[in-house]
Structure 1
Amino acid sequence: MSSALQLDVPELEEIIVPQLDEVEARLMEVVSNADETINPPTSHLAAAGGKRLRPMLVLLTAQLGDAAAACSQQVHDAAVAVELTHIATLYHDDVMDDAPKRRGAPSAQMVWGNSAAILTGDILVARASQMVAALGPDAVLAHARTFERLCTGQLHETLPRPEGVDPVDHYIQVLADKTGSLIALCGLYGTMLTGAGAKAQRIVELYGEKIGVAFQLADDVIDICSDSETTGKTPGTDLLEGVDTMPVLLLRQRLASGELDSAGQAILSLLSTGNLQRQQVLSDVVQRLRNHPVTAETRAMAGAWCDEAVAALADLDDAVVEATRTRLKAEALSEAEVAQGVESARSRAQLVRRGLEDFAHLLVDRAA
């Protein structure tokens, strides 16, 4: 069962929600199309739910192109493929992090073991690749490049950071690769498959990458400030796993420059010497981080990246109008028909831009 975001744009909700239901049904079909041995692990995380942000963005950006194509099987399959790719990375992430839970349910490796969880992720990538293959060579290349970035980001997070590299800049690049790249692919697929034009593709790709970074920075705040009933994860899970998220990196940055206050020094001391496996110690560190300015600073950074994503949409309407005019003229339509189509495209682009702005703020406002 999914828990997709609700846009404050009723006209778009009417179009997208029924399609999301179709995508959800197709997703569950694809993760359950083997046998009684394979189906339980491959359907485990999809059945556990999720926000379905990525399919939603595919469907939303598809509205920028041809109206008939926006509801096509190709667009729906693209939406399923990006969600399959995302879910596959979660299986692998949970093995690497030894995470006990995901989406409020036991993680796959806790149920079937590490080897089965890794292979399950691989199967889902293979199924996503098969679906993308039917979308054409450009879609295949984009998917391959995105998957490389997903892996590159994970490697940069896993391996030691090179000396002299700013930890905050390094982390932002990790977020752009691990999260921003796949969200950018969603926008690319939505516009590519509906003929919205190359300019619109570039705009929504940039938007997607920036909102992906904002989304992860918001998650860094949520990991510290939320409760387990809301997220399905224990507060401070990233700390427990030894992951330096943005609040901790900001502490380390201030320590390196000699500007860290005593409260921040105490947090870093607890992180390096305290036994975070003890719930009391972990709760103490989490509470100290909640009260320290670095958490509010991280929240502000998420907001700034969200603002940049929205600003990237400034020329979207004109880009869609230009592509629509070119496409309709190529169809040898009358001037009146072209003018009517262009005006319809402009109205639709304005509507979608509002939806994308709302989408961006919904992702970041979770950390408010």
Structure 2
Amino acid sequence: MKDFLVEWESSLSEKITKINTSLKAAIYTDQKELYQMTSYIVDAGGKRFRPLLTILAYEIAYPGPYESILDLASSCELIHTASLVHDDIIDNAPTRRGKKTLNSLYGIDNAIVVGDYLFAKAYELGSRYGYEVSKIMSDCASQLAEGQILEYMNLGKLDLTEEAYLEIISKKTAYFFSVCTLAATTAAKSPPELKKNLSEFAYNLGIAFQITDDILDIVGEEAKLGKSVFADIKHNAITLPTIHALKNSGPLYDRLVEIIKFPTGDANNKDELKRILAKTGSIDYAFNRAKFYVEESVKALNKSGSSENINLLMDLAMIVIERIGNMA
């Protein structure tokens, strides 16, 4: 799968380069310390899935040059980056993408300001495409906030249902994925049916993406992921693998609850959790649910016609599900 991802990124290298250039222009400020901090987090990398989703959806909907949508693509990436900055503050995370987080390097106060600045720049970029697109982008931020609070209110809740979990990740991740395509197709003035199909594709892909992310937080290797693992358990976040395990752990239930409530984060603690999740079939269950949502995303995409960009989005769906094997 690693070669598949590299090949996919290589085919989009020109777009990625232009996205990165657009991002640096968007965050520029004469205030050198602020620019240094924002540049640090923007230059830290990332897959650029969201701006690429935006550009590819726009090109599917509109035959003109994609450069006209770069500001909107950058807006999507800056909202994502700002949300990561705030997530790292909340989680007190030491690393992100293999580098120190802003909060660990520059302090929490500065990191909060940088996150706010990135949000402000994102909305300014989105507003260039008119009221309807601007409303879509602001609704996205509202959903992110609702999802974050919903997650916080359910920390350590051992009876959290799969339905409640899906509501959390739909607000925190899936809705944002769909916004990338919806904003792009709205800017392109595309037909309602195409808007709907691409939005459904992205939404279901977002659900699958978050489920695989939650699996990798348990079974992934920190060096490959570029961020801390076991973070959900450390912060008492209940995710799909643990929801399933709690229902199916039998005599292992008490020990599982102890690990969830009082995680040490050491190797033995992690290995024991993995063994319990393996015995209960919980990793396999979560993986199969992720595959289901990928299949749903592909169904929606198949209604959107055929083109090189449709094929690229199809490849992205496969990359999302196959990253389990590459990162574990």
Normalised TM-score (structure 2): 0.90
Deviations 1:43-100 (A, max 9, x none): 22211110000011111111212322x4233x11111000000000001101111111
Matched, 1:95 2:89: yes
Instruction: Determine the C-alpha separation between the residues in 2 that align with 1:25 and 1:169.
Output: 40
Q: Which residue of 2 aligns with 1:358?
A: 315
Instruction: Determine the C-alpha separation between the residues in 1 that align with 2:292 and 2:253.
Output: 24
Aligned 8 A contact 1:7 1:359 in 2? no
Q: Which residue of 2 aligns with 1:337?
A: none
Instruction: Determine the C-alpha separation between the residues in 1 that align with 2:291 and 2:240.
Output: 14
Matched, 1:46 2:35: no
Instruction: Determine the C-alpha separation between the residues in 2 that align with 1:264 and 1:7.
Output: 43
The within-5 A match list for 1:129-278 is 129-160=123-154, 167-252=161-246, 254=247, 259-273=248-262, 275-278=263-266
The one-letter amino acid of 1:243's match is: A
Aligned 8 A contact 2:61 2:194 in 1? no
Matched, 1:110 2:104: yes
Larger Rg: 1
SS in 2 for 1:64: helix
Unaligned 5+ runs, structure 2: none
Deviations 1:134-191 (A, max 9, x none): 1111110101111111111111101148x9x852111111111101111111111332
Q: Which residue of 2 aligns with 1:76?
A: 70
- Offset, 1:102: 0.9
Instruction: Determine the C-alpha separation between the residues in 1 that align with 2:118 and 2:259.
Output: 39
Change (3 A) 1:233 1:288: farther
Q: Which residue of 1 aligns with 2:24?
A: 28
Deviations 1:10-34 (A, max 9, x none): 9xx3xx4312211111112323433
Aligned 8 A contact 2:160 2:238 in 1? no
SS in 2 for 1:271: helix
Instruction: Determine the C-alpha separation between the residues in 2 that align with 1:8 and 1:159.
Output: 38
Instruction: Determine the C-alpha separation between the residues in 1 that align with 2:296 and 2:70.
Output: 28
The one-letter amino acid of 2:109's match is: S
Aligned 8 A contact 1:203 1:316 in 2? yes
Instruction: Determine the C-alpha separation between the residues in 2 that align with 1:125 and 1:218.
Output: 26
The one-letter amino acid of 1:201's match is: K
- How large is the Cα RMSD of the aligned pairs? 2.5
Aligned 8 A contact 1:240 1:277 in 2? yes
Aligned 8 A contact 1:206 1:312 in 2? yes
Instruction: Determine the C-alpha separation between the residues in 1 that align with 2:16 and 2:290.
Output: 27
Aligned 8 A contact 1:7 1:355 in 2? no
Q: Which moved more, 1:215-224 or 1:228-237?
A: 228-237
Aligned 8 A contact 1:192 1:201 in 2? yes
The one-letter amino acid of 1:110's match is: S
Instruction: Determine the C-alpha separation between the residues in 2 that align with 1:7 and 1:359.
Output: 11
SS in 1 for 2:165: helix
- Offset, 1:361: 1.3
The within-5 A match list for 1:315-334 is 315-317=303-305
Change (3 A) 1:155 1:184: same
Unaligned 5+ runs, structure 1: 318-348
Q: Which residue of 2 aligns with 1:281?
A: 269
Q: How many residues align?
A: 322
The one-letter amino acid of 2:153's match is: L
Change (3 A) 1:234 1:72: closer
Task: Using the aligned pairs only, state the percent identity.
Answer: 22
Matched, 1:302 2:290: yes
Instruction: Determine the C-alpha separation between the residues in 2 that align with 1:64 and 1:278.
Output: 48
Change (3 A) 1:220 1:176: same
Instruction: Determine the C-alpha separation between the residues in 2 that align with 1:291 and 1:84.
Output: 41
